[in-house]
Structure 1
Amino acid sequence: MYAIIEDSGTQIKVSEGTVIKIDKRELADDASSVTFDKVIFVGGEGEAKIGAPLLEGASVEADILEEGRDDKINIVKFKRRKGYHRNNGHRQSYIKVRVTKISA
C-alpha cells in the first residue's frame, strides 16, 4: 500500500517503512511522531482512492528519526564585463521521518 501526501507545497509518494526528509516545523519538545492529514491518493491494495483534492479521513503517521540541515547550496550571481558578482549560500533545515502507518 502506498500514498501520495502533500507537505510544504510538495507531493511525496510514500509507503510503510519509507524514510523521507520533510521541511522543519515547530513541534512539541517531546514529540516523537508526525501525522500528515493532506493525503491526495491511496492505492496498492484493491481499489485506489483519489481525493478531490484531498481524501477525507485519510492520514499518514511517521516517527521522527532525526533533525538536521542539508548540504550547502551556493548561489552565484554574475554579469559579464560589468564587475558585478555576488555569492550567497543556503542550508535547508529538515526532519527525517520513517512512515509507520497509512490509513485511508
Structure 2
Amino acid sequence: MDYAIIEASGRQYWIEPKNFININRIPIKTGSTLEIRRILFVKKEESIFIGQPYLNQFKIKATVGKHFLGPKLVVFKMKPKKKYKRKSGHRQQLSRLVINTIES
C-alpha cells in the first residue's frame, strides 16, 4: 500500500492514490490538475522516505473534484444575568482533491 503525508492549507493529510481529501478552498477551477510539492513522508512498496522537512524528489498529482460548503457550525455567546445572547453560524468553503498518483 502506497501512501504519503502532505501539508496543505496549514494542516497535514494522510493520502493514498484514488482517494480524496477535503481542504480549505483553493482558487482553481473544477476539473483542473495540480501538483503538490509539500510532501513530508512517503511509503512506496517496501521503502520509506522521510523529509527534512520536505521531500523534493516526489510529487503528487491531484485533480480538483468540486468546491462546496462544509457543515454548519453554530456560534452562541451568552452572558448570564445580563440578557445578552448572540447566535450566529459559519460554513467553511472547502475544495475536494482527488489524488491521482504519487510519483518519484
Q: Which amino acid aligns with 1:65?
A: G
Match in the other structure for 1:14: 15
Q: Is the 8 A contact 2:30 2:66 kept in 1?
A: no
What is the total number of aligned residue pairs between the two structures?
Answer: 103
Match in the other structure for 1:96: 96
- 1:30 CA drift (Å): 7.4
Long gaps (5+) in structure 1: none
Q: Which amino acid aligns with 2:90?
A: H
SS at match of 2:47: coil
The percent of aligned pairs where both chains have the same amino acid is 29
SS at match of 2:21: strand
- CA change 1:2–1:30 in 2 (3 A) is closer
- 1:92 CA drift (Å): 0.8
- 1:5 CA drift (Å): 0.4
- CA change 1:77–1:30 in 2 (3 A) is closer
Relative to the length of structure 2, the TM-score reads 0.88
Residue pairs, 1:40-51, within 5 angstroms: 40-51=40-51
After superposition, the C-alpha distances for 1:48-95 in whole angstroms (9 at most, x for unaligned) are 000011111321111122111112111111121122221121111111
Long gaps (5+) in structure 2: none
Distance across 1 between alignment mates of 2:35 and 2:5: 14
Distance across 2 between alignment mates of 1:53 and 1:78: 44
Residue pairs, 1:47-62, within 5 angstroms: 47-62=47-62
Q: Which amino acid aligns with 2:10?
A: G
Q: Which amino acid aligns with 1:51?
A: G
Q: Is the 8 A contact 2:43 2:49 kept in 1?
A: yes
Question: Which 4+ runs in 1 deviate beyond 4 A?
Answer: none
Q: CA RMSD in A?
A: 1.6
- 1:44 CA drift (Å): 4.2
Match in the other structure for 2:27: 26
